[in-house]
Structure 1
Amino acid sequence: MITNGMNDSPHFPAGGEVLTSGQRGREDGLRDGFNEGYLRGRANVIVQAARPQLPFRQVRVLYVGSGKGFPYSPIDEAVIATLRQMTAETIVCEPGVPLVELATSTRPDLVLVLDGMEQPVEQMDQLRASGIRTAVWMTDDPYYTDITFPMAPHYDYVFTLERNCVDQYRATGCANVYYLPFAAFPDHYRPTLTRSPLRGNVGFIGSAYWNRVHFLQPIMGQLMDKGLNMNGIWWDRLPEYPAYADRIELGKWMGPTETAEVYSGTKIMINLHRSPFEETVNKNMAAINAVSPNPRTFEISACATLQLIDVREDLASFYTPGVEIETFATAEELLQKVDFYLTHEKERQEIALRALERTYRDHTYSNRIDEMLRIIFG
């Protein structure tokens, strides 16, 4: 919510005389240092705050990773580390191992599969027949539902990060389907508590899906003038790419640590969702619309950075727009809010800090794994 707030103060000392450019630079530097110190200090208090202890369960989990490598591997790392903190034992394997034999020898209380596209469903049928509970956590709904819908009925429990897929999975015969988005893993995503070495005004990290290209192209020059830096694959699709090549890091997959440093050092991060209807990259013949926020929503918020995100229907279930996050519906609104928050430091920082606090309280992998285990084990 844009309100009247604190603009940059005029460059006049107490006596009223106009400052020289050198004096203005010194004042700007002092003010910037103060603002930066305030943000980092408040963020440190939030990150270090004590939180209620989530339950530890005396259960054994056999976790089957995605088998897809990067960029899925950081999700695997987050889930494995969290399970090991919250359960008596977590055994880890990849798709392709003799899973039935491994489960027979270890007798887990649950076999949990991430993504499941690389995991033979016949093995899951055998595990269920032997009395071992199975669950799958879908990573890409609704973008590959042509694959996941036939796969889902082979599991006892299905967890999806897209609310619109819940009823669709139930229609395929799945009895236990739950909406469980991903989250932020604090070991990966947290604010830098000193000034980040990677600093900027406006940032975007993500692949150049066509809906993003078409949305951003008309305003790209204006965003670049405001200090936009980008990272992701396919941005050479942008007709004006050669003019901005020094501001677009092309073709590099950034790991979570580097990504978090960019988030933390950038005043405003843009989050523009991909389209569920782009046939060249999606397998979504049912044309299921996406209404849930993407994982990046939680990861940016975990870094004490103001996030401008395109409106999705279920976003308000996680963050209060105008209070903990900011939204846009049009390119013009995006530009307006970028301009506003680059000149209203206090408002920008307060929203970013509220997002950080909400994320660390409600939207970590500990929160999600606790919910999953409660659903399965009570």
Structure 2
Amino acid sequence: MKIACFSASPIMKYGLMPGFEKNGEETKIFPMACMGDEMVTLELDGQVIRVPYTEQDKINSYIDKCIARYGPDYVILEGYQGELALGISMACEKYGCGFIYWSIEDPVGFARTLPIAKMADIVFTTALECIREYRNQGIQAHLLMFGCNPEFHRSGVYRPQCDLDFAVQASWYNFASRIEGFNILLKPLLGLGYKYRIWGYNWDSNPQARAFLGDNEDHFAGIFPNEKLPDLCASARIILGFQCDSSSITQTSMRNYEVLSCGGFYLCQYTKASAYIFREGTHLELVRDKEEAVSKVLFYLAHDQERIRVARLGQEYVHRRHSYEVRVSEDVLPYIERRASIRETAKIRELRI
């Protein structure tokens, strides 16, 4: 099969799309990068075209041309990308492709992305609990959790500039669970004299985030390239983890899998999903309150071998059980191959008629 997508986000470029390739499927990414108020489109006759969001017709036309030329069996879209969904839906219907939507922001983003899910032929969600919600909307959804790509999310190289007691690669979002995690896990560590850096979106632009950092604003270091995550995990002794949802037993931050896959020691905000999918003290460590945050940081900074042991076991676990190769093989292909078979049967019937 030929699988196309219009997002060069790290989760697609380094995660799910290589997972399809590992299963013998052909893939093509037509990257459309968001830059301020513009949509930057690439790989169309060697030209870079910048189109404002308001010019939906031009975006739709670009998508139409790409799908017409490549002729995919399926086009997959993930996350909050409503500006692409309409064009993909129309082109897929026009050219007989299947439209797959991966709702990676569930459950907190369910209402916002439901209109996209309604356009799709096949829907996957990271939250098991949302499957019933989709069913109530007349949508048959399937579980597809985050994962890792061991060829990309691998053990990195030590970098002196990332030699830190702990590091944060997480954006500031005003979700209740996320803010609770910052208050429980990060806040009590800020004034204890540790070497640390914070990377991510919104820390310098969100008033609530700036107030949270207070006198520690100089520890914010901008946006950290995802391509350098392996080296960060090889250099910082602890990577802190934060979650946008605490209600689901399957929805976690994608960092849970990526940091472990890179061999990093992951000290994570406790959620049902992190406790359900991973073994505390074996694959990662979980924190429930401020006192536990401080005590576990003190312990693991003082016990290198324990920290290394947990990181090693966590890496082995996600490589074995949670790679995108496994995700695609077990959680995606059975559903899209079944749909492809149904479509082929329908075509044969049409020919007979």
Length-normalised TM-score, structure 2:
0.73
Deviation sequence 1:271-324 (CA, Å, 0-9, x none): 021358xxxxxxxxxxxx444211011111012122111122122443212211
Deviation sequence 1:31-89 (CA, Å, 0-9, x none): xxxxxxxxxxxxxxxxxxxxxxxxxxxx222x1223xxxxx621231233443443343
1:64 paired residue number:
5
1:166 paired residue number:
131
Secondary structure of 1:178's aligned partner:
strand
The answer for unaligned runs of 5 or more in structure 1 is 1-58, 67-71, 277-288
Correspondence for 1:227 among 191, 195, 199: 195
Change beyond 3 A, Cα 1:104–1:226: closer
2:158 paired residue number:
195
Q: Following the alignment from structure 1 to structure 2, what is the Cα–Cα distance between the partners of residues 106 and 203?
A: 42
Secondary structure of 2:82's aligned partner:
coil
1:153 and 2:122 are equivalent in the alignment: no
The one-letter code of the counterpart of 1:215 is I
1:182 and 2:146 are equivalent in the alignment: yes
Deviation sequence 1:149-203 (CA, Å, 0-9, x none): 122122221111222322212211112x1111222233432212x5343211222
Deviation larger for 97-106 or 263-272: 97-106
Tell me, yes or no, if the aligned pair for 2:166 and 2:238 is still in contact at 8 Å: yes
1:74 and 2:37 are equivalent in the alignment: no
Residue 217 of structure 1 and its aligned partner are, at CA, apart by 6.7
The one-letter code of the counterpart of 2:158 is R
Q: Following the alignment from structure 1 to structure 2, what is the Cα–Cα distance between the partners of residues 294 and 362?
A: 17
1:254 paired residue number:
224
The answer for unaligned runs of 5 or more in structure 2 is 33-58, 339-353
Secondary structure of 1:75's aligned partner:
helix
Change beyond 3 A, Cα 1:369–1:96: farther
Q: Following the alignment from structure 1 to structure 2, what is the Cα–Cα distance between the partners of residues 101 and 346?
A: 55
The one-letter code of the counterpart of 1:248 is F
Tell me, yes or no, if the aligned pair for 1:184 and 1:363 is still in contact at 8 Å: yes
Pairing of 1:233-272 with structure 2 (within 5 A):
233-235=201-203, 237-239=209-211, 241=213, 243-249=215-221, 252-272=222-242
Q: Following the alignment from structure 1 to structure 2, what is the Cα–Cα distance between the partners of residues 245 and 317?
A: 35
The one-letter code of the counterpart of 2:200 is G
Pairing of 1:115-130 with structure 2 (within 5 A):
115=79, 116-121=81-86, 123-124=88-89, 127-128=92-93
Answer 1 or 2: which has greater helix percent. Answer: 2
Deviation larger for 143-152 or 324-333: 143-152
Pairing of 1:1-378 with structure 2 (within 5 A):
59-61=1-3, 63-66=4-7, 73-78=9-14, 79-93=16-30, 94=32, 96-97=60-61, 99=63, 103=67, 106-115=70-79, 116-121=81-86, 123-124=88-89, 127-128=92-93, 131-175=96-140, 177-192=141-156, 194-197=157-160, 198-209=162-173, 211=179, 212-215=181-184, 218-222=187-191, 224-235=192-203, 237-239=209-211, 241=213, 243-249=215-221, 252-274=222-244, 289-291=247-249, 292-371=251-330, 372-377=332-337
Q: Following the alignment from structure 1 to structure 2, what is the Cα–Cα distance between the partners of residues 200 and 137?
A: 35
Q: Following the alignment from structure 1 to structure 2, what is the Cα–Cα distance between the partners of residues 169 and 201?
A: 43
Tell me, yes or no, if the aligned pair for 1:188 and 1:256 is still in contact at 8 Å: no
Looking at CA atoms only, which structure, 1 or 2, has the larger radius of gyration? 1
Tell me, yes or no, if the aligned pair for 1:60 and 1:87 is still in contact at 8 Å: no
Tell me, yes or no, if the aligned pair for 1:153 and 1:174 is still in contact at 8 Å: yes
Residue 124 of structure 1 and its aligned partner are, at CA, apart by 2.1
Q: Following the alignment from structure 1 to structure 2, what is the Cα–Cα distance between the partners of residues 105 and 226?
A: 54
The one-letter code of the counterpart of 1:308 is L
Residue 134 of structure 1 and its aligned partner are, at CA, apart by 2.4
Tell me, yes or no, if the aligned pair for 2:244 and 2:253 is still in contact at 8 Å: no
Change beyond 3 A, Cα 1:132–1:354: same
Tell me, yes or no, if the aligned pair for 1:133 and 1:156 is still in contact at 8 Å: yes
Secondary structure of 2:142's aligned partner:
strand
Tell me, yes or no, if the aligned pair for 1:213 and 1:238 is still in contact at 8 Å: no
Length-normalised TM-score, structure 1:
0.69
Residue 331 of structure 1 and its aligned partner are, at CA, apart by 1.3
